[in-house]
Amino acid sequence: MNPSFLPRGICLLVVTLSVGLGTLNAGGEIYVETVIDPSGQLHITTKHKHEIVPPKEPQQVSFADAQIAPDGRVVGWLAMYPNCCASYPVALKLVVLLNGEQRTYKGTGLPISEWRFWAQGKQVAFKQETEHGGNAVHYELRDVDTGALADKYDPDVNPGVTKPPRWVVALDSAG
């Protein structure tokens, strides 16, 4: 059908619907389950029974604390690395998977002790601190869609002066 024969408003409607449906189809998978097998490998299952097995990065020994956002469109996990001073690995990166695209967050480089989705899965919050004792504590809140830093909080900067944001309080109460 030649669009030049259609009234202008109908052509615009057809184009708008096509773009909208294309966006819905490109929206990615819905994640429904995460399993970390005995070897430390993460397995992610989608709504359509597709299994995703993320590869380990160089030096990474395992995965930990995999979580799915409440709406199922985002999955995240901790990447575990050897610890020079102990017999167990530590979480040095938080990885988030959205629409087949991975984003990695390292913050200040300290081990990540807690993390969770925030704002119904639109953001991710994490806490970093030294392994034994909570020195040099650092918090970050990241936007899932863009990866941008939405907020950060460092309680050691002005102890007792700066009240922690709600997302920090929620993160600390979850741990």
Mean pLDDT, rounded, for 131-148? 89
pLDDT at res. 163: 86
| Cross-strand pairs, 35 | 43
The mean-pLDDT minimum among 16-20, 66-70, 151-155, 171-175 falls in 16-20
What b-and-e string marks burial along 64-82, b requiring 16 or more CB atoms within 10 Å of the CB?
ebbbbbeeebbbbbbbbbe
User: Which of 93, 98, 50 is closest to 74 using CA atoms?
Assistant: 98
> What integer pLDDT is reported at residue 99 of this predicted model?
85
117 three-class SS: strand
Position 116 scores a pLDDT of 97
Q: In this predicted model, which residue has the larger pLDDT, 13 or 48?
A: 48
What one-character DSSP code corresponds to residue 16?
A: H
Cα(171)–Cα(175) distance, integer angstroms: 7
| Cα–Cα distance for residue pair 92/128, rounded to 1 Å | 9
Identify the band that residue 74 occupies on the pLDDT scale cut at 50, 70 and 90: very high
The number of domains in the chain is: 1
Tens of pLDDT, residue by residue over 75-104, are 999 999 998 877 889 999 999 999 889 999
pLDDT at 160: 67
Task: Find the domain containing 136 and state its range.
Answer: 3-174
Query: What CATH number is given to the structural domain containing 85?
Result: 2.40.128
- Percent of the chain clearing pLDDT 90 (strictly above): 67
Which of the two residues, 160 and 36, has the higher pLDDT score? Answer: 36
Q: Is the pLDDT of residue 16 over 60?
A: no
The reply to whether the predicted model has a pTM over 0.85 is no
The residues near 21 (Cβ < 8 Å, ≥ 6 apart) are: none
